[in-house]
Amino acid sequence: MKLNLDTTRIARCRECAGDIADTIMEGVNRVTTTTIERTVCRLIGIDGVDSAGVPLPNVLVDMLHEAGRLASGAACYVGRAIVATGLSPQAIAEKVAAGEMDIVSFDSVEHDLARAALEDLVAKGIARIEANAERRRELMEKLSPGIEPLIYVIVATGNIYEDVNQAQSAAKAGADIIAVIRSTAQSLLDYVPYGATTEGFGGTFATQENFRIMRKALDETSLETGRYIRLVNYCSGLCMPEIAAMGAMERLDMMLNDSMYGILFRDINMKRTFADQHFSRMINAFAGITINTGEDNYLTTSDAYQEAHTVLASQFINEALAHRSGLPDEQIGLGHAFEIDPAMTNAFLYEVAQAQMARDIFPNEPLKYMPPTKYMTGDIFRGYLMNGMFNLAGVMTGQSIQLLGMLTEAVHTPHIHDRYLAIRNAKYVFSTARDLGCEMTFKPGGIVETRAQKVLDEAAVTLEQVREIGLMAAIEEGVFAGISRAPDGGRGLDGVAEKADDYWNPFEDEISARLKKNGGGACD
């Protein structure tokens, strides 16, 4: 540890966060959601859309939900239909969509038979995810996995084929990680769009086909450059576990997956989000996908200096919940950001304090460091320097994933040369100051150390308060990002159902068993 932080205080924060997460998990374990059941459908091989363009998993699950049958889970209904008709899940979904079959008409088929009928399909779904994780391990061994801080850039043209051009260019210039930013408001769609897409707004739709197209392109570039280029997309929104499953099937390497982002920033119902994030993180965990949490977002609406402790408190909570979904530390990319007002004297010292503190407190986690955005203006020259300072803070405090700032942040989504210049900036700073962190100690009781300890103390107070009243009430009080959300407010609550006694989710069971066997975190 480089900053002489109070270790009992850190332990206390973890304990609080653990209790907070346990309370949340009690609620999570009692319910399922429409998107969780659609995920099960997808993993047993249901894909495609009906004649009106509605994804078949939605058609099937909506029908179950309308019939009040969500409580038992989609799997047993599909299983029963297989036993009764001998058809594949895909054929069953197609018939249901065409109005030729009633999915709840096979109640006479015994539950055990239904389970047995799905056994092979579940094994196949699991094997596909495992094979992808294995393939990633192979490629990482064969090619270079990159040196930390890994260089992470975004593409966001709206057209997946144009994104490929931008991504390959960035990878060749030195990017290790490519994130395809999603189209505005995709997170509020209660379905996942289908097929390759060429029109998006502020980003490109996350579809399984788009994942496949970009994965293939980046694999080509990986072989060409000798570096494994990681691919990122977003689990957040109303379809967290479905997108996690698609990412697992198409070998994404990282996914944005925050336990509270949807609640705070997209006004998605909290019961829905907590349930969805849990199953989606289990899938991420099993697929070897590193999650990225979204604490940086708090600082877009709150002041980064005043509210720094809420970032740390949230990191503890995100960590505790991630552990409960079976994610090991190595796959928990906690987020934070370089967003202090640059007009403040010693702002850089406070940034270093925050970044070093996160590194000290979460030593094994691949921290994801976000660049200055809020104080970026049309002055691209000053912005380029701010990004240089951000890169310096990143390399000297040992950050794992550096999301590069763009000099044109306040103007537009990045152009091809904005990204190129950002990569040149990062490569220069990372190289010129590569071992600066190892050479440096902080003055005991100095500005940096004092600031970090203060933030830790304040986070501890916040976590105690949250434990006292519960996370849901804390969110209602606006503890995070100054945004208040009610437990029964927000979108998607109508897609939450209490589980019945006979509830069955074969993938949750199987993944949970495997994660335990692999020695990952104990999964609730």
Partner 1 sequence: MTKVDLKNIRPYGDTLDDGKVQLAFSLPLRYGPEAKEAARQLAIEMGFEDVDVVSAHDLGGSFSFFVVYGKCKHSVDVTQLHIPKVEVEQMDYFQTNDFIRDKLGRKITVVAACTGSDAHTVGIDAIMNMKGYAGEPGLERYPWFRAQNLGAQVPNETLVAKAIDADADAILVSQIVTQKNVHISNLTRLVDLIEAEGIRDEVLLICGGPRISHELALELGFDAGFGPGTLPSHVAAYIAQELVRKEHRTSARLAEER
Is 344 in a helix, a strand, or coil?
A: coil
* CA proximity to 315, closest of 372, 266, 283, 359: 359
Which residue type does 295 have? E
Residue of the chain from 35, 39, 168, 210 that contacts partner 1 (CB under 8 A): 168
Cα–Cα distance for residue pair 361/342, rounded to 1 Å: 25
Cα–Cα distance for residue pair 445/471, rounded to 1 Å: 33
For the bound state, the minimum distance from the C-beta of residue 408 to ligand B12, rounded and expressed in Å, comes to 6
Eight-class DSSP state of 443: P
Task: Choose among partner 1, ligand B12, none what residue 168 binds, the Cβ cut-off being 5 to 8 Å by kind.
Answer: partner 1
Which C-beta is closer to ligand B12: that of 62 or that of 409?
Answer: 409
Q: Which residues contact 27 (CB under 8 A, 6 or more apart)?
A: 271, 274, 275
Binding residues for partner 1, rule CB under 8 A, total 24
Residue 522 phi/psi, 5-degree rounding, is -70, 130
Q: Dihedral of the CA atoms 349, 355, 361, 367 (nearest 10)?
A: -170
Q: Which span (244-252, 370-378, 389-397, 488-496) binds ligand B12, by CB under 6 A? A: 370-378
Q: Does 465 bind ligand B12 (CB under 6 A)?
A: no
Contact pattern for ligand B12 over residues 409 through 448, marking x by CB under 6 A: xx-xx-----------------------------------
Active site residue 329: no
CB 228 within 8 A of CB 282: no
Task: Choose among ligand B12, partner 1, none what residue 297 binds, the Cβ cut-off being 5 to 8 Å by kind.
Answer: ligand B12
Residue of the chain from 191, 265, 338, 369 that contacts ligand B12 (CB under 6 A): 265
Is 254 in a helix, a strand, or coil?
A: strand
For the bound state, the minimum distance from the C-beta of residue 156 to ligand B12, rounded and expressed in Å, comes to 6
Which C-beta is closer to partner 1: that of 85 or that of 484?
Answer: 484
Q: Does 301 bind ligand B12 (CB under 6 A)?
A: yes
Active-site entry in 163, 253, 258, 296:
296
Eight-class DSSP state of 296: G
The sign of the CA dihedral 160, 166, 172, 176 is negative
* CA proximity to 402, closest of 463, 359, 440: 359
Cα–Cα distance for residue pair 383/377, rounded to 1 Å: 7
For the bound state, the minimum distance from the C-beta of residue 423 to partner 1, rounded and expressed in Å, comes to 10
Question: 401: which strand partners?
Answer: 150, 368
Say how far residue 325 (Cα) sits from the centre of its chain: 13
Active-site entry in 77, 191, 228, 261:
261
Q: Does 518 bind partner 1 (CB under 8 A)?
A: no
In this structure, the number of other CB atoms found within 10 A of the CB of residue 363 comes to 11
Task: Choose among partner 1, ligand B12, none what residue 274 binds, the Cβ cut-off being 5 to 8 Å by kind.
Answer: none
Restricting to residues 378-437, name those near partner 1 by CB under 8 A.
378, 410, 412-413, 415-417, 420
Contact pattern for partner 1 over residues 291 through 310, marking x by CB under 8 A: ---------xx---------
Active site residue 368: yes
Q: So which residues are the catalytic ones?
A: 261, 296, 368
Query: Footprint of partner 1 on this chain (CB under 8 A)?
Result: 165, 168-173, 184-185, 201-202, 265, 300-301, 374, 377-378, 410, 412-413, 415-417, 420
